[in-house]
Copies of this chain bind each other. A is one copy, B any other.
Amino acid sequence: MATFWKTSLSKVIQNKILIRGYRIEDLMEYCSFGDIIYLTFTGELPSGNEGRMLETIMISSTDHFFLAPSVNSTRFVASGGVPLQASVAAGLISLGEYHGGAVEQCARLLQEASGADRRARSIVAGYKNRKQRVPGYGHPLHDRDPRTVKLVEKARKWNLDGPHLKLAEEIANELRKPMNVDGAIAAIVSDLGIGWQYGKAFFLISRSVGLSAHHVEETIRERPFRTINLDDATYDGPAERDIPGSFKVRNSS
């Protein structure tokens, strides 16, 4: 009979922990953290520099000053006086459609494109017809993002670039907008054979490093209960008003 819980990811019995079949002590002996991520997400150990590529991706995304809603969220939540894992979780929740979500969207687009559709021109035209932005291109601040440049350079150097990165670059040409860091990550993890469903995971793992440090810094250096200056806030609702007499009558007792 089927048990309630089932997984192919790990197994634990007394004094033994297996990850995708490998003993934890062996993995601790021979692997980098990037290797383990590759193993966890694909089921097999890397055959080349895939683990280093994933680490390079994650190094690109640990922190982004206060220009990321995730950082500001974690700071506000930490100031409420909560344990580290709680404020980091609150920051991570913000990694939605507009904050790292382009990695998942772009990876899905690249992985689902195939055959005749796999031409940048028709893909871009499709988005334009639907009046949607192609995910993974352009950045509000950076026009030559050093992260993107380095990621593509490393993928080439380690022979990890393939058809998804090629297509992603063709789309950039078609759009006349640079691939952003989300797009580069999407293309490279797709070429590594990782499903688009994992698209947000790299940013999430990586950003949890920066958010942990923001939690600690907030807790150590700042006063509790972060409050804004009233000058930074506007109220544009109804002016102060009385409750109508008719409502009062109905609700008095």
List residues of A whose CB falls within 8 A of some B CB. Answer: 2-37, 40-41, 43, 45, 55-56, 58-60, 62-67, 69-70, 72-73, 75-77, 79-101, 104, 140-147, 149-151, 154, 195, 197-201, 204-206, 208-210, 212-214, 216-217, 219-221, 224-244, 247-248, 251-252
Residues of B within 8 A of A22 (CB): 241-243
- When all copies of this chain in the complex are counted, the total is 4
Q: Which residue of B20, B144, B199, B236 contacts A15 across the interface (Cβ within 8 Å)?
A: B144
Using known A-B contacts A9-B210, A236-B6, A237-B20, determine if residue A25 contacts B150 with beta carbons closer than 8 Å. Answer: yes
27 A-B interface contacts by CB (under 8 A): A4-B233, A7-B65, A12-B141, A14-B141, A21-B240, A22-B241, A22-B242, A25-B149, A28-B56, A28-B59, A31-B251, A36-B209, A41-B213, A67-B230, A69-B79, A69-B225, A70-B80, A73-B90, A80-B98, A82-B93, A83-B96, A84-B199, A85-B204, A88-B204, A90-B93, A195-B216, A205-B212
Query: In the complex, what distance in Å separates the CA atom of A59 from the CA atom of B224?
Result: 25
Q: A87-B93, A93-B82 are in contact. Are A232 and B4 (CB under 8 A)?
A: yes
